[in-house]
Structure 1
Amino acid sequence: MYAINHRVGIQAPSEQVYEALTTNDGLMKWWTNDVSGAGDVGAVIKFRFNGSGPDFKVAKLVANNTVVWQHSGNVPEAWKGTEISFQLSSDGQQTFVNFSHSNWQQATDFMAHCNTKWTVFMLSLKEALESGQGKPFPNDISIDHS
C-alpha cells in the first residue's frame, strides 16, 4: 500500500481549521467551489470539478482534531479503497494539519499527479485561513496543460 502525506502549519486556531474541513462553506474556500453534503459521520460529501468529481463518506470526526473520509460512489478508479485523513495538532502558535491519502494500490503517474495537487490544495487551505482567500478549483494552480 502507498500513501500521500503532507504536513502544513497554519496560523489559525484548530476550531477554524476543523470548520474548513467539515462544512460546505469551509471546503469551498480551499478545494473546489462546488461542494455539497458535508455534515456528521455518515454524510456523503460531493466534490464537483466542472460537474463531476469524487464523493466521500465522512467516516470519523473528532472535534478540532480528526477528520476521515472514505470513498463513496463516484471516485477515480485508483481512489477506490483509499482513505483521506486530516489530523490536527497545535503548538499554541499554529495548527498543524497532517494530511494523508492512504491505501493506494500502486504508485503510478496518477498518484504522483494527485500528490502534487494535494500540495496545491493544502497550501490553498493555509491561504484561506491565514489571508481569507484560498485558491479552490477552478482558481487553483494548474500543474499540467491538459
Structure 2
Amino acid sequence: MHEISHRVGIKTSVDKIYQALTTNEGLTKWWTNDISGAGDVDSIIKFRFNGGGPDFKVIELLPNKTVRWQHSGNMPEAWVGTEISFQLHVDGEQTFVRFTHGNWQESSDFMAHCSTKWAVFLLSLKDAMETNQGRPFPNDIPIDHS
C-alpha cells in the first residue's frame, strides 16, 4: 500500500482547525466553495468542483485530535478503498496538521498529482486560518495546464 503524507504547522488554535475540517463553512474556506453534508460520524460530505467531485463518509471524529474520512460513491478508480485522515497536535503557539491519504494500491502519476493538490489545499487551510484568506477551488493554485 502507498500513501500521501503532509505535515503543516498553523499558528492558530486546534479548535479553529477542527472546525475548518468538520463543518461546511470551515471546509469552504480552504478546499472548494461548494460543499454540503459535513457533520457527525456517518455523514456524507459532498465536495463539488464545477458540479462534479468526490463524496467522503466521515468515519471518525475525535474533537481537536482526529478527523477521518473514507471515499464514498462515485470516485476515480485509484481512490477505491483509500482513506483521508487529519491528525492534530498542538505545539506551543501552533497546531500541526498531519495529513494522510492512505491505502493507495499503486504509486502513479495520478497519485503524484493528488499529493501536490493536497499540498496546495493544506497551504490554503494554513492561509485561511492565519490570514482569513484561503484559496479554495476555483481560486486554488493550478499545478498544470490541462
Which TM-score bucket, shorter chain as reference?
Answer: over 0.9
C-alpha distance in structure 1 between counterparts of 2:6 and 2:106, whole Å: 18
C-alpha distance in structure 1 between counterparts of 2:5 and 2:130, whole Å: 22
Percent identity at matched positions? 70
Q: Does 1:101 align with 2:128?
A: no
> Which residue does 1:55 correspond to in 2?
55
Structure 1 segments, 4+ long, off by >4 Å, are none
> Which residue does 2:84 correspond to in 1?
84
TM-superposition CA deviations, 1:63-121 (whole Å, max 9, x none): 01100000110221111100000000001210000000000001000000000000000
Please state whether the residue corresponding to 1:38 is helix, strand or coil.
coil
User: Structure 2: 5+ residue runs without aligned partners?
Assistant: none
Please state whether the residue corresponding to 1:128 is helix, strand or coil.
helix
C-alpha distance in structure 2 between counterparts of 1:12 and 1:74, whole Å: 35
> Which residue does 1:31 correspond to in 2?
31
C-alpha distance in structure 1 between counterparts of 2:106 and 2:15, whole Å: 35
C-alpha distance in structure 2 between counterparts of 1:68 and 1:125, whole Å: 17
> Which residue does 2:8 correspond to in 1?
8
C-alpha distance in structure 1 between counterparts of 2:92 and 2:16, whole Å: 14
> Which residue does 2:21 correspond to in 1?
21
- Count of residues in correspondence between the two structures: 146
User: Structure 1: 5+ residue runs without aligned partners?
Assistant: none
RMSD across aligned C-alpha pairs, in angstroms?
Answer: 0.5
Using structure 2 for the length normalisation, give the TM-score. Answer: 0.99
Q: Does 1:112 align with 2:112?
A: yes
> Which residue does 1:73 correspond to in 2?
73
> Which residue does 1:124 correspond to in 2?
124
Please state whether the residue corresponding to 2:17 is helix, strand or coil.
helix
Using structure 1 for the length normalisation, give the TM-score. Answer: 0.99
